[in-house]
């Protein structure tokens, strides 16, 4: 990796440090409203009616996210025409994000569903990550190229909301051979979600037996436990906190014809995420998390955060200091090492946070000028 020149870094650090106390947590105007559903199974008119009502009549939507199973034919393959017929009646100004289910065929296999991976929203607030049916098991393998790509995205975009569209739920053993992958992926997301805003939107089960009501599902014994899991956040799963939002996207097809289609509306902004369900007419809210290293509450980790920790360390008491996420090497201390780690993360010398076993500086800074020089040296080793 090419090293950055010392002089420009000196100017950058000094300029930012000189105006640091003027930084505030003023919220941006960025927000989003997203329509979620799954298991369309050729019920295109019901989908179009729901999307038009929510995204044209009642309010606007920034995206429509459909989490698999678009056809219900004997071939179990959603053809290009099936997808066209599903999308054609929808409002033309709203982008549609597709994730393939077990009845769909992705581009990789000659179909019309996008391949697994990132779908950028063009927003600084959120993105989508599609996981198609044929790639589900790969996300249970921590050496797969798919998992490595997701890991890299989460490392470099820690403050964004990431909506993972995954047709198969992580709690259901309805399909043989997927349990091990589901458990591994669950554990991976729970680890990554501690300081990130991850939403896993799923479908597949048609709400028949496998999900006993709108709010709770039962984990299989393989986790191992049998506990209630709230689809949002801040609940206990087998003695651990669920660190990501677990969202039943809804279903245009229910296994009982008497049950009306259901969908979810997700609204996000700088402060919180709200999920509203059409079948219960109720909403649940969870607060947005600050990523590890975001010491000034702006949901970005950059050189400003390194300088704020340095100011705190030398006793300048910067305003709005967020000590909950300042210990980026997780050694139980908040000191100049954390400042240097963030600085190196900012210039890609550290791949991700937390970063363990970091070298101690050769000197202990007593002034902000000494701390700034250490930061400059750390970014240009």
Q: Over its length of 381 residues, how does the chain's per-residue pLDDT go in tens digits?
A: 434 444 455 555 555 555 454 443 434 448 999 999 999 988 889 999 999 999 999 899 999 999 988 875 545 455 667 778 888 899 999 999 999 888 886 555 555 566 789 999 999 999 999 998 888 888 888 888 989 999 999 999 999 999 999 988 876 545 556 767 777 888 898 889 999 999 999 888 776 433 433 333 333 333 333 333 433 333 344 445 678 888 888 888 766 666 788 899 999 998 999 988 888 888 888 889 999 999 999 999 999 999 999 999 999 999 889 999 999 999 999 999 999 999 999 999 999 999 998 888 989 999 999 999 999 999 998
Long-range pairs for 219-224 at CB < 8 Å and ≥24 separation?
219/171, 220/171, 220/172, 220/173, 220/179, 222/173, 222/179, 222/180, 222/183, 223/183, 223/186
Burial class (CB in 10 A: 0-12, 13-18, 19+), 18: exposed
Dist CA 106 CA 70 (whole Å)? 12
Q: Which residues of 340-373 are buried (b: 16+ CB within 10 A; e: fewer)?
A: bbbbbbbbebbeebbbeebeebeeebeebebbbe
Three-class SS state of 218? strand
Nearest to 245 by CA among 232, 262, 259, 230: 232
Taking a C-beta distance cutoff of 8 angstroms, is the pair 195, 189 a contact?
A: no
CB atoms within 10 A of CB 321: 18
Tens-digit pLDDT profile for residues 206-230:
764 334 333 333 333 333 333 334 3
User: H helices of the chain, where?
Assistant: 6-18, 44-52, 80-87, 145-156, 179-192, 303-313, 336-346, 368-379
Predicted local confidence at residue 233, as pLDDT: 32
Q: What is the mean pLDDT of the chain?
A: 80
Distances (CA, A) of 295 to 133, 264, 292: 39, 33, 8
User: H helices of 128-178, where?
Assistant: 145-156
Taking a C-beta distance cutoff of 8 angstroms, is the pair 249, 37 a contact?
A: yes
Tens-digit pLDDT profile for residues 2-46:
344 444 555 555 555 554 544 434 344 489 999 999 999 888 899
- Domains of the chain and CATH, by start: 6-25+296-379 (no CATH), 32-287 (3.60.21.10)
The whole-model pTM stands at 0.85
Nearest to 187 by CA among 215, 147, 158: 147
Task: Tell me the pairing of strands 63-66 and 96-98.
Answer: parallel
Dist CA 112 CA 137 (whole Å)? 21
Distances (CA, A) of 315 to 11, 361, 375: 23, 18, 17
Q: Tokens 């801040």 map to which residue?
A: 234
């Amino acid at each position: 990796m090419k090293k950055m020149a010392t002089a420009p870094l000196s100017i950058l650090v000094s300029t930012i440090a000189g105006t640091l106390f003027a930084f505030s947590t003023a919220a941006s105007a960025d927000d989003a409203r997203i329509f979620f559903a799954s298991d369309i199974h050729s019920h295109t008119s019901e989908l179009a009616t729901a999307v038009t009502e929510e995204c044209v009549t009642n309010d606007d939507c920034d995206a429509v996210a459909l989490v698999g199973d678009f056809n219900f034919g004997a071939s179990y393959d959603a053809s290009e025409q099936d997808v066209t017929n599903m999308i054609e009646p929808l409002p033309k100004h709203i982008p549609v994000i597709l994730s393939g289910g077990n009845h769909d065929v992705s581009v990789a296999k000659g179909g019309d569903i996008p391949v697994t991976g990132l779908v950028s929203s063009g927003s600084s607030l959120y993105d989508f990550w599609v996981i198609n049916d044929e790639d589900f098991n790969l996300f249970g393998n921590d050496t797969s190229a798919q998992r490595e790509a997701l890991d890299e995205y989460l490392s470099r975009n820690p403050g964004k909301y990431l909506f993972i569209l995954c047709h198969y739920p992580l709690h259901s053993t309805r399909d043989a051979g997927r349990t091990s992958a589901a458990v591994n992926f669950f554990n991976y997301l729970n680890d990554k979600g501690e300081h990130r805003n991850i939403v896993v939107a799923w479908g597949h089960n048609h709400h028949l037996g496998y999900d006993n009501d709108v709010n709770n599902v039962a984990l299989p014994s393989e986790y191992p436990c049998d506990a209630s899991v709230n689809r949002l956040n801040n609940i206990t799963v087998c003695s651990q906190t669920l660190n990501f939002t677990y969202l039943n996207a809804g279903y245009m097809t229910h296994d009982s014809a008497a049950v009306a289609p259901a969908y979810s509306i997700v609204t996000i902004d700088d402060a919180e995420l709200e999920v509203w369900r059409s079948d219960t007419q109720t909403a649940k809210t969870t607060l947005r998390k600050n990523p590890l290293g975001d010491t000034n509450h702006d949901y970005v980790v950059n050189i400003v955060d390194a300088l704020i920790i340095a100011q705190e360390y030398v006793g300048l008491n910067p305003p709005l200091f967020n000590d909950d996420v300042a210990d980026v090497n997780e050694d139980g201390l908040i000191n100049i090492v954390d400042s240097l780690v963030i600085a190196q993360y900012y210039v890609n010398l550290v791949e991700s946070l937390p970063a363990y076993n970091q070298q101690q500086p050769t000197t202990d800074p007593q002034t902000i000028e000494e701390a700034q020089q250490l930061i400059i040296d750390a970014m240009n080793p």
